[in-house]
Chains A and B, each alone.
Chain A
């Protein structure tokens, strides 16, 4: 003991230069706590940056839509899509002057915006009219002898929000073809969908309705004068996400929206609906497994407008402004913004009921 003391007294430097274990642990603990405090703030700042990029993309699409309107005196068609199916009963009213055939899986609003988004070179490759019979079924099949197929593989970041989890940036459109990008019926991802209707954007599966009460529906040709609710009170485009599912052959695929075709939806689910991935879907219950290979059906009936941003999703209004709407937004407000001419009043977080809110009705008879 005494010796020990002497030792200390003789060489105090050895003790000064070293940390004790307790001191070291305390320092580590403090650093750990500080990093723990800092990390959520850093992650929040990164998400804020992603959200800002997304908002900017929506704003740019709004500018492109208005440039289209200036040139053509109406907004682009939400999509021009019809595929015969014996089970389909969909209100269907294409432009009578259209020369397009009865089977026309035509392009969506995103394709029509290309010249107004500095993508003229891609647009010029597109064959927008139907092909003569014998040259492929509609415009999308991969053996199509036009350049369409190459264009349909182009990923446009202008339509994508950085919060999207689908890093492969493609979505599957049919199960009778290969996957992983530029093969078969896989199409480039888009995080934007036109707002077609307040309740029912699709009659069944993937066939969009041609009589939506919104702005971008099947064969729509809406100009600003027809939007009597007010351009700043009417949605034109909203944010969507993609989801992992499996096709009819049990191959993992991404399901979602694309700028090439279709790409319209309705607001009957609300934002981040209970069945959607960001909105609280429990993937152990009823994943996008197809229930017989109908994953698009499931996707459309479950997902609606959604995003991976915490607490809401972006919407572009017809006046070109884009806003972030919270997922607890009153459903009557969403319906009021989705319709173009129902004269709803929106005030103090709620809106008047115009009778087109609530459960989606059965699709009407007629059509094909």
Chain B
């Protein structure tokens, strides 16, 4: 009886290991189907943005698809000169207009019920009338923008 039991136990043990591994395999296979398929082809891009050599403390960068590139707008906040465009899977591969804005609070402004708008202080050639462009290749990982105000 005890032999029988122990055999039984062992076999149960084997079965559970087998079952677990099957379930594990199923789970792994199921997870393969999840996640961002990246059908558009996007890459995470990061970099340093400076104005006349100084990192921009607070701002935003946006990549607007241009020409034959079709996809969503992408970008990231800029903090202390650095940005990591990783939202929604990154920046679509292709050509883009780049819009960079930097903000600072107007310390001398009169009190406004809503705080008053922050001042955007970069020249228009970097944002509203941007001449900045970027070409994102599948191998692109880093893209710096050393801006010159002159």
Contact = CB atoms under 8 A, between A and B. Distances in A.
Given A33-B23, A275-B75, A302-B60, A293 B70 contact: no
A293 B115 contact: yes
Interface stretch (A4-12, A61-69, A163-171, A224-232): A4-12
Contacts of B85: 274
B115 A330 contact: no
Contact of B88 (A279, A298, A331): A279
Contacts of B33: none
A274 B76 contact: yes
B127 interface: yes
Given A8-B2, A29-B20, A185-B113, A359 B77 contact: no
Contacts of B73: 268-270, 273-274, 331
Contacts of A85: 112
A247 B87 CA distance: 26
Contact of B130 (A331, A357, A359): A359
B118 interface: yes
Interface size class of A (residues with CB under 8 A): 35 or more
Interface string B96-131: 010101011111010111111110000010011110
Contacts of A270: 72-74
Interface residues of B, number: 55
B117 A87 contact: yes
A358 B62 CA distance: 10
Interface stretch (A126-134, A284-292, A314-322, A336-344): A284-292
Given A285-B79, A359-B62, A360-B128, A329 B72 contact: yes
A291 B104 contact: yes
B40 A248 contact: no
> Quick one: which of B99, B112, B127 has the most chain A CB within 10 A?
B112
A330 B72 contact: yes
Contact of A291 (B1, B64, B103): B103
A279 B60 CA distance: 15
Interface in A1-33: 5, 8-9, 12, 15, 20, 22-23, 26, 29-30, 33
A123 interface: no
Contacts of A15: 5
A335 B67 CA distance: 15
B114 A294 contact: yes
Given A332-B70, A359-B97, A23 B12 contact: yes
A290 B115 contact: yes
Interface in B45-74: 58, 60, 62, 64-66, 70-74
Interface string B15-39: 0100110010001000000000000
A331 B128 contact: no
Nearest to A5: B2
Nearest to A271: B72
Majority SS at the chain A contact face: loop
A292 B116 contact: yes
Contacts of A33: 20, 23, 27
Interface string A329-368: 1111000000000000000011000000111111000000
A269 B79 CA distance: 19
B113 A22 contact: no
Contact of A297 (B62, B87, B117): B117
B9 A20 contact: yes
17 contacts: A9-B1, A26-B12, A175-B114, A268-B73, A269-B62, A275-B76, A286-B79, A294-B118, A298-B118, A328-B72, A328-B88, A331-B65, A331-B73, A349-B70, A358-B99, A360-B128, A361-B129
Interface of B: 1-2, 5, 9, 12-13, 16, 19-20, 23, 27, 40, 58, 60, 62, 64-66, 70-79, 84-88, 97, 99, 101, 103-107, 109, 111-118, 124, 127-130
Interface of A: 5, 8-9, 12, 15, 20, 22-23, 26, 29-30, 33, 36-37, 85, 87, 173-176, 185, 204-206, 247-248, 268-275, 279-282, 285-286, 290-298, 301-302, 327-332, 349-350, 357-362
